Amino acid sequence: MSITPQAASARNREICQMAPIIPVLVVHDVAHARPLAEALVRGGLPVLEVTLRTPVALDVIREMAKVEGGVVGAGTLVTPDDVTAAVAAGAQFGVSPGATDLLLDTCEDIGLPLLAGAASASEAMRLLERGYDMLKFFPAEASGGVPTLKAVGAPLPQISFCPTGGVSPSNAASYLSLPNVVCAGGSWVAPSDLVNSGQWGKIEALARAASQLGL
């Protein structure tokens, strides 16, 4: 079932409004998938982005998709094959570092709402021209961070963003205070040392603190 850019943006806006932070997850062991997702959801972060950066990422998505209350998406979508594999694994939305016509065509044809990446006004305008008004701003800090998003928001107030890349507990509130930011992506809520040692209670506490950002 296909999806229009407008419908994809509307769905991703709904997803982004569920919590101020979307955990960006790089998971190396499938055994960690369920308890990690459960800890993050309990902590108030139901939207989970599993990046396709490890050999087990698709299996991780399959496991996390079984967790009640979670909304699991696939990150680092770059090729059409990435998209079809992510949907087959149960991803409910996709995230890409940038955007190509081929990637957008594939997501629209297969019905996957894509949070496409943009790092400049021109890239954002091209996506808006196609019908996308809910975008990922990446890499956020390297692309100018809060000042850039604030500046872009003046001439392009109809576009909303989820900044990702360099977002941390120290600057997340500044991003979330901008009128054109709906949520932000961050990896600090699931640090590898806590994941590898199975310290789910500590991850839940990090998630709970992140869920209160911007309030």
Rounded CA gap, 58 and 214, in Å? 31
For 52-126, strand residue ranges (E) read 71-75, 93-95, 114-115, 117-118
CB neighbours of residue 18 within 10 Å: 15
Rounded CA gap, 151 and 161, in Å? 13
CB neighbours of residue 42 within 10 Å: 17
Catalytic annotation present for 202: no
Q: Which residue out of 38, 49, 63, 204 is catalytically annotated? A: 49
Catalytic annotation present for 129: no
Q: Which residue out of 63, 108, 136, 204 is catalytically annotated? A: 136
For the chain, the straight-line distance linking the first and the last C-alpha, in angstroms and rounded, comes to 37
Q: Return the active site residues.
A: 49, 136
